Amino acid sequence: MSEDQPGDHAAQAAADTERRIDRYTLLELISVHSPGEHFDGYRQFPTELWRGHDEILDRPVSIRLIRKDDARLNRVLGAARAAALVDDRRLLRILDVLDVPGNTGEQARTAVVTEWVTGQHLADRLGGGGLFDPTVAVEIIVEVSRALATCAQHDVGHGRLRPTCILWTEAGEVRIRGLAIDAALFGPIDPAAPDADVDGLGGLLYAMVTGRWPALAIDPQSVHIPLAPAAGRTVPMPSRVRAGVPAEVDDLVNRSVRQVARPRGALPITSVDGFAAAAGSAIDYLAPVTSTTTAGVGARLRTAASTIGRTSPTAAQPVIHDDAIDNDIPSRPMGAANIVRRLLSVVVAVAVVLGIGWIGLTLLASDPAVEEQQAAATSEASVILESEAVPFEEDFGSGLTAVLPIQSAVSYDPLGDEDGDGRPDGAAGRERNPRAERAIDSDGTTAWLTRKYDAPSVGRKGGVGLIVDLGSPKEIATVEVDLVGFGTDLDIRVADQIPDDPDLWTEFASVKEAGPEITLRSPRKVTGQYVLIWLTGLPVLPETVGTDEPQYQGGIRQVTITGLDPQESFAGE
């Protein structure tokens, strides 16, 4: 089912520029939605979305036209009335609902008029490959969830959250469109989700940090961005799709999105209020705000003690008198009973203080070990202050790593038969080798690409990849790969020479359904000069999805390797 996509009516827009509905002028036909399903006795007809102009208030508006005999009309009108009750700046408001009489060749319709804003929606931002910083994404989702929490107080939900309903205005504001009405027209994205808005909020956060929508077996046109890679019957957590996603984002997503793999023991979020609270807590961890400088415990205690010693009774905090709080309450003199009670309290407090002091003096006098400990501490401090400084020797075997320079890169196709002699080409086998250097240059927009295959398993070869040369054996800590597309299966292998058989390399790490950015670590120490990035499963080309002959192609944009150089000496530094 196609939703809000420009149809064949674009040419009609110019001819209809002078059409009017009451005080509103129809200026431009934005989209036409045609229902994909028809049921006997349940009639659905195409709906039109127009950009219009309010002639009286001189402002742009959005106008949705629905036929009077559409079975969804009553549901849409109820949603519009409910949405109009919510007053929140972050929502595009319902401005008017009016009848449009029919005429020759045209049915009677109902017009739902809402605000029009100029800006960009989330799907456009993600369509260009631009992902959000996780902290910024959580800040945005906090705003959206708080707006929907306000709606929930009026028993109104959005019901169909997706990237095209989140807008950024020219002033940088986040606005939400389609409250209740979109769900009345098109239904929820995932009908099986326990709460459509909780699922949608988690889906929006997933989309902002990965560029994918966390769902299986739905039409990508309903969300206008690609779907997340499948991991069995679920989709992977955001950190498995994009490197560097913090655990707080994973937690929000797997507790809210139905089809994301949820760790055992993770409690699901069951309401928009709960999601807003959880998102607010996450942003406190990701971007804490503090107005004081961080100091050690000892420093804070010393500061407090010196402040108490210098503070006089007259320099204490300002006194707030009762008449400053409530001038209507007259003051009255203190009674004799009150004076007696206060005197007794003072006497008891003095007695307690004197008793505690006497006990402390007794303990000090009876335990000579206290004096010995004080003397030992004083002696130790004197030794430290009077001793000579000793140069610090840095231990580079403790896990301190750096980015290792890559000398060169070549493609690796040992099981291919480029020369057609019926035998594998071995270590000399190459696939698109002239472009291999693109994976190690400083330009993240270029990439080494494999050939196009008819199967994700790289034909009958079982794999193809790149070899990067570190110049000499290095102790490898991490291998970060920026891949082309989603859903790549890859192995990282290491060797000091280039064998003909990829199985002869030392295994470093492997991952399934990766992309586009992934960082791999080995559970054990691995040393070698050559690093093989072995692609064993390729992602499908998006333009061939749904065709009779889908094609598969992988690629590598950038490779970054961190580790240690065992041969490097730090003596004398």
Residues 220-278: pLDDT tens digits? 888 999 999 887 788 999 998 888 899 999 999 999 999 998 887 788 999 999 999 99
The pLDDT-based confidence of 364 (bands split at 50, 70, 90) is low
Using CA atoms, how far apart are residues 236 and 263, in angstroms rounded to an integer? Answer: 11
**Residue 23 backbone class (left: φ over 0; alpha: ψ -120 to 50; beta: rest):** alpha
What pLDDT score does 217 carry? 81
The pLDDT-based confidence of 450 (bands split at 50, 70, 90) is very high
What pLDDT score does 315 carry? 37
Domain ranges (residues) in the chain? 10-115, 119-286, 402-564
How many Å separate Cα 423 from the centre of its chain? 48
In what order do the strands lie in the sheet containing 166-169? 119-121, 166-169, 174-176
The pLDDT-based confidence of 36 (bands split at 50, 70, 90) is low
Residue found by looking up tokens 């064993």 in the block? 536
| Contact status, residue 554 vs residue 566, Cβ threshold 8 Å | no
Amino acid at 340: V
Largest interatomic CA distance in the chain: 115
Angle at 25 (CA atoms; ends 24, 26), nearest 5 degrees = 120
Of the candidate CATH numbers 2.60.120.260, 3.40.50.280, 3.40.50.1370, 2.60.40.1120, the domain formed by 402-564 belongs to 2.60.120.260
How many Å separate Cα 91 from the centre of its chain? 22
38 vs 284, residue with greater confidence? 284
The pLDDT-based confidence of 524 (bands split at 50, 70, 90) is confident
| Contact status, residue 176 vs residue 71, Cβ threshold 8 Å | no
> Which of 50-59, 249-258, 512-521 is least confident?
512-521
Those residues with Cβ within 8 angstroms of residue 68's Cβ, 6 or more apart along the chain or in another chain: 99, 102, 107, 108, 109, 110
Task: Indicate the pTM of the whole model.
Answer: 0.53
- Taking residues 299-304, report their average pLDDT: 34
Average pLDDT, the chain: 79
464 vs 569, residue with greater confidence? 464
DSSP state of 269: P
- Taking residues 214-218, report their average pLDDT: 89
Determine which helix (DSSP H) or strand (DSSP E) holds 379, and give its type and residue range.
helix 369-386
Answer yes or no: is pLDDT of 12 > 90: no
HSE (CB half, 13 Å, CA atoms) of 64?
24
What pLDDT score does 105 carry? 76
401 vs 277, residue with greater confidence? 277
Can you identify the CATH homologous superfamily of domain 119-286? Transferase(Phosphotransferase) domain 1 (1.10.510.10)
> Which of 26-30, 481-485, 545-549 is least confident?
545-549
Q: Kindly report the CATH number that applies to the domain delimited by 10-115.
A: 3.30.200.20
Using CA atoms, how far apart are residues 183 and 195, in angstroms rounded to an integer? Answer: 13
DSSP state of 172: S
Residue 365: CB atoms within 10 Å: 9
Torsion angle of the four alpha carbons 510, 514, 516, 520, in this order, in degrees rounded to the nearest 10:
-30
How far lies 35's CA from each of 11, 40, 77, 187, in Å? 21, 14, 18, 11
Residues 76-99: pLDDT tens digits? 999 999 999 999 999 999 999 999
- Taking residues 511-524, report their average pLDDT: 82
Using CA atoms, how far apart are residues 39 and 166, in angstroms rounded to an integer? Answer: 32
